[in-house]
Structure 1
Amino acid sequence: MPDSFIESYTLEKRQTLWSNIIGRNLADVLVVDGEAGLAGFLCFGQPKTLKGTDVYELSSIYIDPANVRQGIGQALYNECERMLRTLKAQRVTLWALDSNERALHFYTQQGFIPTGEISKECANDVILHDIELAKDLSVK
């Protein structure tokens, strides 16, 4: 992400966003506490366009840089998938930046494959390319 895009997300904007998501029960949020506070989180649910289907979306996963490569992302994803299977989800999708090699590697290790869908968004005069990945949960 361009620094200017990241810097545009102020603490107030983030507090409003997460208060809305959690307060209105718009998604499930899994968190891992670390010694110095929040070590990581994962957010998933059904966007409005998928409500009532057996398709869910992993909308965000974040691991504090000080906690990368400690198994936190894997633990969060494992719990997410366990919950999705309990919900009888058949498919989970996500969007990732095409340049985020670490994330793409992690997702493919979990069994996600590109769907061929691409989304472009403009972030402070920079065009970002997101690719959609999906995993079929009906096969274990």
Structure 2
Amino acid sequence: MKFRVRKALIDDVDGIAHIHVSSWAYAYNGLMPKSFIDNYTFEKRQKLWSNIIKRDLAVVLVAEGDEGLSGFLCFGQPNTFKDTDVYDLSSIYIDPDKMGVGIGQLLYDKCEGMLRTLNAQKVMLRTLDSNERALNFYRKQGFAPTGESYNEQADDVVLNDIELAKVL
């Protein structure tokens, strides 16, 4: 199966929203309360990604194959790092039916290439500390924990996100 990576278009919003919701449910099943997972609806994600793409708030890349979109990645300069050479990798989600075939790697390779072209010096991200699939992927890319962590309340459960960074 062959995939190409390109910048997202407004016509991709429905596909991105579908992947976001299905991948979120797959990745966090058993790691978060079901009610918290169920709050990630197609309509909410559709509105979010439409706004990001229309207003060019971040770079959104999609992986596209013969069957349509199979994954996406989003990165940009967060407000806390404005006018610096630090970028934030805010999202990478793959269609659960297409996981394990290298789509995440294709997306990340394109992202890192773009960051190097922008003279970025560092890329940061946050991920759930119990999401072993994500942690393994990021470690393979050269990310390491910064020591920072952030707690979020999800119903009666406290979720712990850890911050990872990679010097480019």
1:32 maps to which residue? 63
* Greater alpha carbon shift after TM alignment, 26-35 vs 61-70: 26-35
Q: Percent identity?
A: 67
Which of 111, 115, 124 is the aligned partner of 1:84?
Answer: 115
SS of 2:101 mapped into structure 1:
coil
Q: Select the structure with the greater relative contact order (CA < 8 A; seq sep ≥ 6).
A: 2
One-letter code of the match for 1:111?
A: G
Unaligned ranges ≥5, structure 2: 1-27
Which residue identity does 2:134 align to in structure 1?
Answer: A
User: Mean alpha-carbon deviation: is it higher for 109-118 or for 12-21?
Assistant: 12-21
How far apart are 1:86 and its partner, in Å?
Answer: 0.2
Aligned to 1:115: 146
Q: TM-score, normalised by structure 2?
A: 0.79
Q: CA deviation at 1:120?
A: 0.3
1:125 is aligned, of 142, 156, 162, to: 156
Structure with greater helix percent:
2
Measured after TM superposition, the shift of residue 35 of structure 1 is 3.5
The TM-score normalised by the length of structure 1 is 0.94
| 2:91 counterpart (52, 60, 70) | 60
CA RMSD after TM alignment: 1.0
The number of aligned residues is 137
Structure 1 residues 68 and 23, CA, compared in 2 at 3 Å: closer, same or farther? same
Name segments (4+ residues, structure 1) moved above 3 Å: none
Distance change in 2, residues 1:22/1:122 (3 Å): same
1:37: Cα distance to partner? Answer: 2.7
Q: Which runs of 5+ in 1 are unaligned?
A: none
Deviation larger for 26-35 or 102-111: 26-35
Pairs within 5 Å for 1:3-18: 3-18=34-49
